Structure 1
Amino acid sequence: MGALMSVVPPEPTWPVPPERGWIADDLDRLPNLPPHTELIDGNLVFVSPQSNFHVYAIRLLEFGLVGARPSHLAVLREMTVTLGTRDRPEPDLLVVRREAVTGDRQTTYRPEDVVLAVEVVSPDSEERDRELKPRKYAGAGFPHYWRVENESGELVVHVFEREAATGTYMPMGIHRGELELEQPFPLAIDLTDPQRWL
């Protein structure tokens, strides 16, 4: 009998950037990109596997936002926003104007559609979610931004509002236990037990 041949799995192939760098439309054209790939400054950003905390936090806030949002707004999970030719980030949650939702094949939104962006910080996204993305979101005109942190197992929401005069975010509060706000619309979300949404 012939010798058994060992089967070697193929090496992964990574997209090679064009000389000009990637552009926003490339996210819709490149085959086999990992889920939730973002474009930041012309670079593809691949996210690490999500933790249970990340999943719980998104679900808790998504349900709370859906339950409180007025009818002219829509709540979306993990959809991109095209900020410009070289930037197409994917916030964990978005609140957009309902008229901006154009159909089931839509893959991105415009900055002027966004009312609120929410990012849940992961170990691999700390710098992006705390510094880079807030600057880009404020520069693009998003009126509201929430940064969600895991502080020793406690879900904590840092709330920011864009100041028109400076075009930057101003801190509006740090919420533990309950997130109770009047802007961008009245809501109250119990933050104490995200696992109840499993």
Structure 2
Amino acid sequence: MTTEQGGYTVDDLFTLPELPPHTELLDGSLVFASPQQIFHSTMVDLLVTGIRRATPPKLKVRRDMTVVLDRHNGPEPDISIIRAEIELGPDETLYRTADVLLAVEVVSPDSEARDRDTKPQKYAAAGIPNFWLVEMAGTDRHAVVRVYELDPVSKTYALTGIHHDRLKTGVPFRIDIDITRDALNQL
């Protein structure tokens, strides 16, 4: 069932009754969340904790909140860094792209294509200045964080770093997080 030709809209995302939690909207289609793997859950916790320690007061770290990109796209990044002044209160359910400085996606088997292809392209086209892609790599299945920065002319992301044991970057602010297996196992 769609409300109009072309699929669902962001308005539908927030008004359709009984949608499961963490439902996303991509290209007018509803995308339902699947059960998370331990890596996904602990990696998000590790990053949120590390980012919050470094976040300047004018910014906030949020997880699993809808970002309205356009009428037919309302993805839910695993982590977003937003401008603090735009938060209206505890009932807030979404953010606009102009208020998001960083979107982070932690790849899961069921979301691999969306996290690697669809979402980064949409975040870049919408003008979100920074994007991180987090996944397991190698035979030892260690964490890898790929850091991207938006080229404002081409509206595409350029890779600015690949981090294996330590995520250390100066954009969008100074961040230094231990992302080793030991750090993940401590959670």
Which range, TM-score by smaller chain?
A: over 0.9
Distance 2:87 2:173 in 1: 19
Q: Distance in 2 between matches of 1:125 and 1:43?
A: 14
TM-score of the pair, normalised by structure 1: 0.89
Aligned to 2:35: 49
Please name the residue that 1:83 is paired with: 69
Q: In the alignment, what sits opposite 1:196?
A: 186
> Match of 1:13?
none
Shift of 1:195: 2.5
RMSD between aligned residues: 0.9
The one-letter amino acid paired with 1:196 is Q
Does residue 58 of structure 1 match 2:21? no
* Deviation per residue, 1:115-154 (Å, 9 max, x gap): 0000000111111111110010000100000000011421
What TM-score do you get using the length of structure 2 for normalisation? 0.95
Alpha-carbon shift at residue 179 of structure 1 (Å):
0.4
C-alpha distance in 2, partners of 1:58/1:118? 9
Q: Deviations over 1:63-113 (max 9, x none)?
A: 011000100000001000011110000000000000111111110000000
Give the corresponding residue for 2:100: 114
* Number of residue pairs matched by the alignment: 182
Separation in 1 of the partners of 2:144 and 2:111? 16
Q: Which moved more, 1:139-148 or 1:17-26?
A: 17-26
Task: Report the counterpart of residue 3 of structure 1 in structure 2.
Answer: none
Amino acid at match of 2:186: R
Uncovered stretches (5+) of structure 2, i.e. residues with no partner: none
Q: Which residue of 1 aligns with 2:160?
A: 172
* Correspondence for 2:57: 71
Offset at 1:33? 1.2
2:13 maps to which residue? 27
Corresponding letter in the other structure for 2:163:
H
Report matched runs for 1:83-162 at 5 Å: 83-151=69-137, 152-162=140-150
The AA in structure 2 aligned to 1:138 is A
| Structure 1 unaligned regions, length at least 5 | 1-15
Determine the C-alpha separation between the residues in 1 that align with 2:3 and 2:173. 43
Distance 1:115 1:158 in 2: 16
| Max Rg structure | 1
Q: Which residue of 1 aligns with 2:3?
A: 18
